[in-house]
Structures are given as C-alpha cells and as structure tokens.
Amino acid sequence: MKNAYTVKQVNSYIKNMFTQDFMLSRIYVKGEVSNCKYHTSGHIYFSLKDESGTIACVMFAGSRQGLSFRLEEGQQVIVFGSVSVYERSGQYQLYAREIVRDGLGALYERFEALKNELAEMGMFAPEYKQPIPRYIRTLGVVTAPTGAAVRDIINIAARRNPFVQIILYPAQVQGEGASDSIVRGIRMLEQKKTDVIIIGRGGGSIEDLWAFNEENVARAVFECSVPVISAVGHETDTTISDYVADLRAPTPSAAAELAVYDIREVYEKLSGCRRMLCDRITRTIADKRSKAEHMRVRLRYAHPRQKLRENRQYAAELENKLRMLMENRLDRDRHRLALYIEKMKGLSPLEKLSHGYSYVTTEDGVNVRRVSQAKAGARLRIYVQDGSYPAVVADEDK
C-alpha cells in the first residue's frame, strides 16, 4: 500500500494524457443537444447525445463568438473543441469553441438554389402580384388547426370584422407530407373562391418552417387565382412562399390585419358620406333660395309702378326747383326796382321845382338850356311845382 497516489495526482495524470492526445485537442463531435443551461456567468452547459450515450459539454463565455444561434434542446449540432478533464469532479468533457447546426448548410444551399431558380423564372416579379382586395367577405386560412397562429388570425379577424367568413383548411405545416397538405389547402380554398387566402404558421426552427420553402408550395401560391398572403414564423424568418405570395406579412397576426378591414372604419366612412350628402344638398337649397330672394328684390325694383313713382317724384322735384329759381329771380328784380325808385326820386326835376325853380321844354319836350334852342315865337312849355302852362318866346336878345 506504499504506492498510493493522491486524487490530485491521478486526475492531473489523466488530464495530461488528454492534453497530449492530438485527436482530442481538435475534434468535431455531432449529436443532439440536451440539458442545455445558459449560466448567468455566460457559460453554456449542455450535453451531446446520440442513441448510444452522452458527453458533457461546456462553452465558456469567452468562446461565445463561436455560436451564432440560441442553443436549444433537441437541436442537431456539430461541436468543435477539445476533450479534457475537469479535475474537480474527475469527469472528462467537451470544451466547445464553435457550434454549428448539423444539416443546416445543406438546407440553406437548397433554399438559395430554389430562390434563385424561381426568381429567374420571374415568380417573384411584382407584375404577377395580385392586389389584396380592400373589402373582403370570406377569408381562407391554411395553417395548423391548433396553436398560436390560427388563434391569432381568428381573434384579430373577428375583432376587426366579425362579419367576415373565415374558412380554415387544417393543414399539416411541418414534417413529412406538410408541403402537400399546404398545397391541397391552397387549391381547395381557391375552389371555394374565398376573397383572400392566408397561408402560414407560427415561429419555429428552419426545419420546422421548411414546408414553406418547398417548390410545390411556391408553385401552388404562384398559380392561385385568389390573392395569397404568406405569414410564416416571426418577422425575421423569410421563406420562399413569402417571396412568391402576393403579399408578405411578418406574422400571422399581421396577416389577419392586412386581410381583414376594420368594420368600424367603414361605418365611420359611411356616416361621413351621409353627413356630407345632407350637408351639400342643404347648402345647395339654401344657396338657390337666397338667389331667388335676391331676384325677387331686383324684380320688385324693376316694376313699372316703381318706375312711375320715381318719375313722378322727380317731376315734383324739378317743379319745386323751377319755382324756387323763379321766385329768387323775381325777388332780385323787385329789389333792383326799389333801388331804382330811390335813385330816381333823388334825380327827379320835380324836387327842384318845389324850391321855386321851373323847368322849360320845347314843344318836343326837350329841356331848354341854351338861348339858341328857341327862336322868337317858338312855343315852349313851362313846368312849375303843381303843373305846367304853355308859353311863347316874345323876342330874342340881340
């Protein structure tokens, strides 16, 4: 019993064996993920298993750049790393540096190849896209009869417009025969002549969504005379059917919103139209009425009686004016006359006669002012204050 080794010695010896093994230091291991735990430290602990057994694995936080997806139970993966011993528990485990999904590479290649082929054939071309009718009455749905997708579509459609008839084709959306099931659903709903068809399913792995990447589904969507909305998985998942469909919806809920119009909006629009019509007709009537009133007033002014009245009034005005002018004129003349009379009074010879002078005229009434005006024997008239008498010139002074 002299040569007993410590645990530490044995574990470190075994560890050293692993470390020196060329194969175990760089190894690819494939299997199914189980017991996967994301630790708060950032390390991921999981096991890889196959039919025969399991191997413990760890991916340290420092190696996380070697993992580009979320590791989940049941995934088929290939892990690259090294196998070594965890001395504390004396267990060997796989230290992962890189993890890729097994078989995905082939799937992506198929996806890309089909996508390119169909694109070249023009199956994604915008000119083949049918418009989604704005107001539908029937909605066809091709999806699994259970699960979130069908529930979301029915709930949202019913909330927006409970009067739209939904016809569900319960399809198998993953696994063997899924694409044939989806194709049959599209064809049968096309025969039912629904206004729009939604095909889709909830989120899942690329394998789960694969049926929507199959060529027969793509062709059925392309050939469908009814507009098709494709809603597969989450917003980030894109499938071939999304490219071929007349419209791509990010999720099944969004597809229902795009397909089913909101009945409340229509009711609002209808009452808006009614209000507008009533408004317009009332305005037109009021407009015509005010025009008629305007005409009535104008017509009344144009009546001959009105004209006659106006003429009569004008005539009366003119008469007044005339009379006034005349009177003014007369007043003015009367005044002038009075002035003349006063003036004449001052100039009258009779005034002078009252002072003892007399006024002598010839027979013709010409005032005699000079001797030469009357020869001897000429007949004159002499005016005095109270009258006149005739006179004859007796002689002439020599």
Partner 1 sequence: MEEKITLEDMFRELETLTEQMEDPDITLEQSFDLYNRGMELLKKCNESIDSVEKKVLVLDESGETHEF
Please report how close the Cβ of residue 171 comes to partner 1 at its closest, in angstroms: 10
Please report how close the Cβ of residue 297 comes to partner 1 at its closest, in angstroms: 20
Among 61, 113, 121, 270, binds partner 1 (CB under 8 A): 270
CB 191 within 8 A of CB 154: no
Q: Provide the 10 A C-beta neighbour count for residue 317.
A: 10
Please report how close the Cβ of residue 214 comes to partner 1 at its closest, in angstroms: 20
Please report how close the Cβ of residue 194 comes to partner 1 at its closest, in angstroms: 8
Burial class (CB in 10 A: 0-12, 13-18, 19+), 325: exposed
Q: Which range of residues in 87-95, 105-113, 189-197, 250-258 is near partner 1 by CB under 8 A? A: 189-197
Among 79, 99, 136, 229, binds partner 1 (CB under 8 A): 136
Q: Closer CB to partner 1, residue 37 or residue 288?
A: 288
Q: Provide the 10 A C-beta neighbour count for residue 190.
A: 17
Residues 6+ apart with CB under 8 A from 111: 213, 240
Please report how close the Cβ of residue 301 comes to partner 1 at its closest, in angstroms: 25
Q: Closer CB to partner 1, residue 83 or residue 217?
A: 217
Among 30, 39, 193, 352, binds partner 1 (CB under 8 A): 193
Q: Closer CB to partner 1, residue 61 or residue 292?
A: 292
Among 30, 234, 274, 336, binds partner 1 (CB under 8 A): 274
Please report how close the Cβ of residue 146 comes to partner 1 at its closest, in angstroms: 11
Please report how close the Cβ of residue 116 comes to partner 1 at its closest, in angstroms: 34
Residue with tokens 């008498």: 389
Q: In what order do the strands lie in the sheet with 359-362?
A: 359-362, 379-384, 387-392
Which helix (H) or strand (E) covers residue 17, if one does? helix 7-20
Q: Closer CB to partner 1, residue 113 or residue 273?
A: 273
Among 57, 77, 96, 189, binds partner 1 (CB under 8 A): 189
Please report how close the Cβ of residue 266 comes to partner 1 at its closest, in angstroms: 7
Quote the CA–CA distance of 311 and 218 in Å, as a whole number.
94
Quote the CA–CA distance of 20 and 14 in Å, as a whole number.
10
Contacts of range 286-294, beta carbons closer than 8 Å, 24 or more positions apart: none
Q: Draw the binding track, 279-298, toward partner 1 (x: CB under 8 A; -: no contact).
A: -xx--xx-xx----------
Please report how close the Cβ of residue 183 comes to partner 1 at its closest, in angstroms: 13
Q: Closer CB to partner 1, residue 273 or residue 391?
A: 273
Burial class (CB in 10 A: 0-12, 13-18, 19+), 39: exposed
Q: Closer CB to partner 1, residue 105 or residue 145?
A: 145
Residue with tokens 């994604």: 124
Q: Draw the binding track, 137-176, toward partner 1 (x: CB under 8 A; -: no contact).
A: xx------x--------x-------xxxxxxxxx------
φ/ψ (deg, to 5) at 159: -70, -40
Please report how close the Cβ of residue 263 comes to partner 1 at its closest, in angstroms: 7
Among 36, 78, 206, 263, binds partner 1 (CB under 8 A): 263
Question: 31: which strand partners?
Answer: 77
Please report how close the Cβ of residue 320 comes to partner 1 at its closest, in angstroms: 48
Distances (CA, A) of 276 to 232, 263, 273, 284, 290: 43, 20, 5, 12, 21
Q: Which of residues 329-358 bind partner 1 (CB under 8 A)?
A: none
Quote the CA–CA distance of 67 and 74 in Å, as a whole number.
16
Which helix (H) or strand (E) covers residue 85, if one does? strand 76-86
Q: Closer CB to partner 1, residue 263 or residue 384?
A: 263
Q: Draw the binding track, 95-134, toward partner 1 (x: CB under 8 A; -: no contact).
A: --------------------------------------xx
CB 184 within 8 A of CB 238: no
**How do beta strands 247-248 and 228-232 pair?**
parallel
CB 101 within 8 A of CB 75: yes
Q: Report the interface residues with partner 1, using CB under 8 A.
A: 133-138, 145, 154, 162-170, 184-185, 188-189, 191-195, 263, 266, 269-270, 273-274, 276-277, 280-281, 284-285, 287-288
